[in-house]
C-alpha cells in the first residue's frame, strides 16, 4: 500500500519539475512579502488605533514613529519572502528584479511572463488577505476620520494597499524620478549582494541584507511616493483595492494633485532597475571581471531551478 502511495505521489508531483514549480514559488514568495508588508501598513493606519491599543483613533505614534514601524515591517516582509521562494525560483518577487536579471544576467526571457504573472497574482491575493483580516478596523478608521471610500478622503485607508504621490507634487515627473532612483538603488545593491565576485554575504544572510536595503530605501527615499520600487507590490494590491471600493483612488489613481498615477509605479521601477543594473556593472562588476575574479555561478544555478534540484524522496 505504501509503495502504491509513493508511485501516485511521483506521478502527481511531476509538474513540480516544470515552470509551474517556479510559478508557485514566485506566487508564494510575493504573497508572503505583501501579506507582511501591507499588513504592517494596516496596523499603522487602522489596526492599533481602532483596537484601543494607541493613544488616539488616528495614529499610533507621531508620523515618524508610524514610518519607522512601516519600514521595519517591510524589512521583515522582504526577508521572509526571499527565504520562502529563494530555493526554487530565486525569489525575484519583483518584476523589476526579473527584468533586470533577464537583461543583464542571462535569466531566460521566456520565463519573464510567468514570473511576473505569479508576482502580481501573489500580491493581489495577499492584499485580499490583509483586507479580510482588517476590514472592520479599516471601516472603523474611515468612520472616525469621516472618509468616504473612493474619494480623496479615503487615500489614507487606500494606502494600506498601494502607493500614492505626496501632496507637494503637481505632475508625475517628481514621483517618476523618485521611483526610478529608489529602484535603481535597489537593483544595483542587490546585484552587489548576489555577486560572487564581490563581497557576497555568507551563511545565507543575503535575504537579511536585502531586507535592510529595502528598509534603508524606505527611510531615506520613501515619503515622496511610498517607495513602491516593485510593480507587483503596487499593482496587485491596487487592483484589489479597486474591487474593494476605492474606485478612482485605486484605478486609475486620481489624487487631485496627480491623476492617472497607476502606470507610474510600474514603469518607473522597471526603468530604474535597468539603470541600476547598468551602473553596477559598469562601475563594479566589469572591473571585477577584468581583474580576473572567479566566475560567478550562472543565475539559473544560483536560483536552483526545479530541473536541477535533487529528486524528492517522495517523488
Per-residue pLDDT at 255 exceeds 90 = yes
Q: Is the dihedral of CA 26, 27, 29, 30 positive or negative?
A: positive
**How many angstroms separate the CA atoms of 288 and 294, rounded?**
9
Task: Give per-residue pLDDT as tens, 121-148.
Answer: 999 999 999 999 999 999 999 999 999 9
Say what the pLDDT of residue 17 is: 65
Count Cβ atoms below 10 Å from residue 226 Cβ, excluding itself.
Answer: 21
Domain boundaries, the chain: 13-308
Q: Residue 227: which pLDDT band, with cuts at 50, 70 and 90?
A: very high
User: Comparing 17-31, 60-74, 84-98, which segment has the lowest mean pLDDT?
Assistant: 60-74
Q: Give the distance from CA 169 to its chain's centroid.
A: 24
Chain length of the chain: 315
Q: Residue 315: which pLDDT band, with cuts at 50, 70 and 90?
A: very low
Say what the pLDDT of residue 294 is: 66
What lies within 8 Å, CB to CB, of 220 at 6+ separation is: none
**How many angstroms separate the CA atoms of 63 and 58, rounded?**
11
CA distances from 18 to 22, 89, 90, 307, 314 (A): 7, 11, 15, 7, 17
Residue 303 or residue 225, greater confidence: 225
Say what the pLDDT of residue 313 is: 31
The kind and range of the H/E element at 117 are: helix 112-144
| Eight-class DSSP state of 43 | I
Q: Enumerate the H helices of the chain as residue ranges.
A: 2-12, 19-42, 48-50, 63-89, 95-104, 112-144, 155-158, 173-194, 206-221, 231-241, 247-250, 264-280, 286-290, 299-303
Q: Residue 63: which pLDDT band, with cuts at 50, 70 and 90?
A: low
**How many angstroms separate the CA atoms of 31 and 213, rounded?**
20
Say what the pLDDT of residue 308 is: 39
Structure pTM? 0.88
Backbone dihedral region of 211: left (phi > 0), alpha (psi from -120 to 50 degrees) or beta? alpha
Q: Compute the mean pLDDT over every residue in the chain, rounded to the nearest whole number.
A: 88
Give domain 13-308's CATH architecture: Up-down Bundle (1.20)
**How many angstroms separate the CA atoms of 175 and 191, rounded?**
24
Say what the pLDDT of residue 203 is: 84
Task: Give per-residue pLDDT as tens, 177-217.
Answer: 999 999 999 999 999 999 999 998 988 999 999 999 999 99
Task: Report the candidate in 285, 72, 75 with the shortest Cα–Cα distance to residue 194.
Answer: 285
Contact 197, 296 (CB under 8 A): yes
Give me 314's grid cell.
517522495
**How many angstroms separate the CA atoms of 277 and 260, rounded?**
28
**How many angstroms separate the CA atoms of 174 and 279, rounded?**
21
Count Cβ atoms below 10 Å from residue 278 Cβ, excluding itself.
Answer: 16
- Report the pLDDT averaged over residues 19-32: 96
The kind and range of the H/E element at 35 are: helix 19-42
Residue 308 or residue 272, greater confidence: 272
Amino acid at each position: 500500500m505504501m509503495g502504491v502511495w509513493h508511485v501516485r505521489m511521483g506521478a502527481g508531483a511531476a509538474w513540480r519539475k516544470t515552470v509551474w514549480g517556479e510559478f508557485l514559488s514566485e506566487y508564494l514568495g510575493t504573497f508572503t512579502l505583501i501579506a507582511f508588508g501591507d499588513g504592517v501598513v494596516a496596523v499603522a493606519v487602522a489596526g492599533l488605533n481602532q483596537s484601543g491599543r494607541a493613544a488616539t483613533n488616528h495614529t499610533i505614534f507621531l508620523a515618524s514613529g508610524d514610518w519607522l514601524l512601516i519600514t521595519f515591517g517591510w524589512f521583515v516582509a522582504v526577508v521572509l519572502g526571499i527565504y520562502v521562494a529563494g530555493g526554487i525560483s530565486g525569489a525575484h518577487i519583483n518584476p523589476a528584479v526579473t527584468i533586470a536579471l533577464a537583461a543583464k544576467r542571462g535569466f531566460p526571457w521566456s520565463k519573464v511572463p510567468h514570473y511576473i504573472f505569479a508576482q502580481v497574482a501573489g500580491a493581489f491575493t495577499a492584499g485580499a488577505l490583509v483586507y479580510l483580516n482588517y476590514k472592520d478596523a479599516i471601516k472603523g478608521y474611515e468612520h472616525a476620520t469621516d472618509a468616504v471610500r473612493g474619494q480623496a478622503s479615503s487615500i489614507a485607508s487606500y494606502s494600506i494597499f498601494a502607493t500614492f504621490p505626496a501632496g507637494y507634487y503637481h505632475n508625475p515627473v517628481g514621483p517618476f524620478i523618485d521611483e526610478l532612483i529608489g529602484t535603481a538603488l535597489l537593483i544595483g545593491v542587490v546585484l552587489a549582494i548576489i555577486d560572487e565576485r564581490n563581497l557576497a554575504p555568507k551563511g545565507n544572510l543575503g535575504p537579511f541584507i536585502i531586507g535592510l536595503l529595502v528598509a534603508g530605501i524606505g527611510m531615506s527615499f520613501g515619503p515622496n511616493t511610498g517607495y513602491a520600487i516593485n510593480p507587483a507590490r503596487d499593482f496587485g494590491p491596487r487592483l484589489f483595492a479597486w474591487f474593494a471600493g476605492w474606485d478612482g483612488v485605486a484605478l486609475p489613481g486620481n489624487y487631485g494633485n496627480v491623476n492617472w498615477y497607476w502606470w507610474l509605479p510600474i514603469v518607473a521601477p522597471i526603468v530604474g532597475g535597468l539603470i541600476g543594473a547598468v551602473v553596477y556593472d559598469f562601475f563594479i562588476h566589469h572591473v571585477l571581471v577584468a581583474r580576473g575574479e572567479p566566475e560567478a555561478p550562472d543565475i539559473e544555478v544560483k536560483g536552483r531551478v526545479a530541473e536541477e534540484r535533487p529528486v524528492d524522496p517522495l517523488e
